[in-house]
A and B are shown apart, each in its own frame.
Chain A
Amino acid sequence: MARMLISPETLDQELDGDTVFLHLDSACSCALDDVGTRVWHLLVTHGDTETVVSQILAAYDVDEATLRRDLEPRRAALTAAGLVTVDAQDRA
């Protein structure tokens, strides 16, 4: 799976467990709930979604298929907002 990179144009701010974002270039603004924030932190730390999956599977009582189904829209939302980008080398 592709490696995710946080856009240098991204500002983020944690608010009581949730996180809000501003993409400076597109002016797109969005927010993540506490679960999304956990995913964000793992992405920031590890950079690739496979590690995120394994970390969450180790920490929570959730089956992998459900996790991947829940994770995908959040990853897609972050990508669509321009907050993260897919590493060009991995994409190739």
Chain B
Amino acid sequence: MRSTGVYTYALFGLTIRSDLACPELPAGAAPSPAGEVEIACGATPAALAQPRTVGVLYQAQAGQYVLRVPGVGRFLALEGQRIIVEPAPQGDAATVRLFLLGPVLAALLLQRGLVVLNASAVVTPHGRAIAIAGPPLSGKSGLAASLARQGCAWLTDELCVIAWDAEARPMLLPGFPQVKLWRDQLASLGIPPDPCARVRPGLERYRLHWPAAFAAQAAPVHAVYWLGGHPNWSTVPCAACTPAEAYVVMTGATYHSQLLSALGVQVAHFRALSALVPRVRCVRVLPSPATSFVEAFVHDVVSGEAG
């Protein structure tokens, strides 16, 4: 099945030709695109022929990834080139896009050999891209949103994609101007929640569209902050990682890290992270919901004082 390409978007340096309307994505082709990706609506297999990994909702093998979400739909990412979407009969369109632009797109980007971290990212006023990674519920998106409110340009939420430019610099690629925040994070930013923008029905997490603060251009990666996990975390609020620690942090922050082998990209990913670690500062930060922590972190990053 081929996409009719009704819609054209720019995403992570790629031009997306899609049958499916994705209003959250920047419209139009990517400038100097690194490639094209098709998103087509059609039939998908219930299972892969030779899966190397089988999860509750997904299967993966070299060049193929299937995700099945009951009540939402089935998705197939192929060879880094195409995604086929088969929405469930009662599938909510926004929820379909939640999975399409999250785990399914992440699998496709990994198939293309890109580094994909589960992180949020902004560009500081000094033109440095920083990524904020960490375990679930560690406050990645909220911290990035606080930075965006203080003069940083928004790059991406959830999927943080790194590629090398013509000068062999690691660049953080622009995603789309949307962040997903919990109700308390919205409250701390003084933004009332929009009941129509819930990430999923019944969930107190909301999509927030931020076109004004969006950075449409890739920016050189300066630092990756990991929220939590320092061995001396009770006494060390912030610590630069050694190369070995940085590698472990970035491996842990990699989206679908458990699928790299099944997707057949583990060697390429090992080489890519090994090339990335010496070029990027990696800092472990002890996160805190306290206003003072957020203010201090934002101040240090925006002023360029952060390590």
Contacts and interface: CB of A to CB of B under 8 A. Distances in A.
Interface of A: 11, 13, 15-20, 22, 24, 27, 29-34, 36
Interface in B234-264: 242-245, 247-248, 251, 260-261
Interface stretch (B77-85, B107-115, B266-274): B266-274
Of listed A16, A29, A33, A34, residue having the most chain B CB within 10 A: A29
Contacts of B242: 18, 33-34
A17 B244 CA distance: 9
Given A11-B270, A22-B266, A29 B243 contact: no
Contacts of B266: 22, 24, 27
The dominant DSSP class at the A interface is strand
B277 interface: yes
A27 B278 contact: no
Contacts of B274: 13, 15, 20
Contacts of A27: 260-261, 266
Contact of A16 (B243, B251, B270, B273): B243
Given A24-B267, A27-B266, A29-B270, A17 B243 contact: yes
Contact of A15 (B251, B260, B261, B277): B277
Contacts, number: 48
A7 B247 CA distance: 21
A31 B245 contact: yes
Interface in B255-307: 260-261, 266-267, 270-271, 273-274, 277-278
Contacts of B261: 27
> 5 closest pairs, A vs B, by CB?
A31-B244, A18-B244, A27-B261, A15-B243, A13-B274
A24 B89 CA distance: 41
Contacts of B278: 15-16
B270 A22 contact: yes
Contacts of B267: 11, 22, 24
B306 to A, nearest CB: 21
Given A20-B273, A34-B242, 10 more contacts: A11-B270, A15-B243, A15-B244, A15-B274, A15-B278, A16-B243, A20-B277, A27-B261, A31-B247, A31-B248
Contacts of A22: 266-267, 270
26 contacts: A11-B267, A11-B270, A13-B271, A13-B274, A15-B247, A15-B274, A15-B277, A15-B278, A16-B278, A17-B243, A18-B243, A18-B247, A19-B244, A20-B243, A20-B247, A20-B273, A20-B277, A22-B266, A27-B260, A27-B266, A29-B247, A29-B251, A29-B270, A30-B248, A31-B244, A36-B244
